[in-house]
Amino acid sequence: MQILEIAEEETEKNVAVAEVDNAVEATSPNLDDLDSEAGFFQLFIRPMLKPGHEGELCEWLKEMGLLQRTMKCNNSVGNEICNTSMHWAPARILDKYQWLCHKCNSKRSIRENTAFKQMKCSLATALRIILGWCKNIEMEEISEILLCTSIVIKFFQIHKKEFIFGGFNSLVIVDTFPILGYDEEINNSFQNNNNIQPILCIAEIKEIPTHFYFYPYNTINEAVIKIKEIVQPGTAIVINSKLYKDVFVNLRDCNKYSVIISTEELTQFDTPIAKTLNENLNTIWLPAKNICEEAQKYGNNMTSYLIEQMWLAKFGSTPSTAFEYLMHNFNDCWENQD
């Protein structure tokens, strides 16, 4: 009876998966465009996504720990659980393979006990859409299905040290959205809007492209606490002049930082004709402005969106690089979800 129920469940799942695959093709960019990225994905993954290569794909997923390498049969035989080691067998289902028990002939999905169990699309489509997420293509419904956001958030929680800025002989710039530099035309449209959520923005001037830390806050005290948490001792900090008075005293009293200076003080070294500092600050903050503006659309999901952007900026020098890094951390972060 249990075997029949499993078979019926598998059939229903295959129909649902096919429907989602069709929906993905209809509502997202061309799947061939999604996996056209050069690098790791193009060289190693794309060939395995072609029809007839499902076995290679599954073997790679097992090697990566994204599919189970072994499985015990949990079918009831009489009054006991079978508990026999199952073997990998070809099947006429969407995944092309399943776990099969040679003792009681029960079957289990190859997605059992993996993140893919919750993904309502084929394995090949899942990998393509994950790459689309790494490309920052907007596919909100699909991203939720594929758990990319929750995986990255868990990574963010586990590896907080990866997102610590500064240190001795390092410089960070602190500002908030909707201020962010000196572009008054852009800022005025946001500053007069009471529905805008302020976002603390920290930029580390160390690498190109600049790495940012984003944090939605409600009070200056919250922002100051986050600055102390994120910026390491010994760092030189440049703070927007409009924030300087509110933030300076709190940071100065903790005696952690080598220099704390306002942008107004720095602009004294600019010439009236060549306002280099102002221009540089606007250039540095432009990507952050774009992210903060987009974040206002996400409401209660704003923090998740900002974490995604921080993760992609740090680990996604290219979409293919982001995909490779995500794959190496995918299962570990999924297993450690609360």
For the cut 50, the answer to whether the pLDDT of residue 288 exceeds it is yes
Q: Are strands 236-239 and 259-262 parallel, antiparallel or unpaired?
A: parallel
User: Cis bond leading into 198, ω under 30°?
Assistant: no
| Confidence tier at 138 by pLDDT (50, 70, 90) | low
Q: What value does the mean pLDDT of the chain take?
A: 78
Q: Are 320 and 39 in contact (CB under 8 A)?
A: yes
For the cut 50, the answer to whether the pLDDT of residue 85 exceeds it is yes
Average pLDDT over residues 74-90: 88
Domains of the chain with CATH codes: 2-146 (no CATH), 158-330 (3.30.420)
Report percent pLDDT > 90 for the chain: 21
Residue 310 CA to residue 213 CA, distance in Å, equals 6
For residue 2, the model assigns a pLDDT of 44
| Confidence tier at 169 by pLDDT (50, 70, 90) | confident
Q: What is the pLDDT of residues 215-259, one digit of tens each?
A: 999 988 899 999 999 999 999 998 887 777 778 777 877 778 888
Residue 57 CA to residue 47 CA, distance in Å, equals 9
For the cut 50, the answer to whether the pLDDT of residue 310 exceeds it is yes
Q: Determine phi and psi for 279, rounding to 5 degrees.
A: -65, -40
Q: Are 264 and 200 in contact (CB under 8 A)?
A: no
Q: Which residue has the higher pLDDT, 240 or 33?
A: 240
Residue 239 CA to residue 231 CA, distance in Å, equals 13
| Confidence tier at 120 by pLDDT (50, 70, 90) | confident
Q: What is the pLDDT of residues 179-218, one digit of tens each?
A: 765 555 555 555 556 688 999 999 998 877 788 999 999 9
Structure tokens, 19: 């429907």
For the cut 70, the answer to whether the pLDDT of residue 276 exceeds it is yes
Helices (H), 112-199: 123-134, 140-146, 148-158, 184-191
Average pLDDT over residues 41-47: 81
Q: Are 316 and 32 in contact (CB under 8 A)?
A: no
For the cut 80, the answer to whether the pLDDT of residue 146 exceeds it is no
For residue 110, the model assigns a pLDDT of 92
Q: Are 90 and 100 in contact (CB under 8 A)?
A: no
For the cut 60, the answer to whether the pLDDT of residue 114 exceeds it is yes
For the cut 50, the answer to whether the pLDDT of residue 1 exceeds it is no
For residue 101, the model assigns a pLDDT of 93
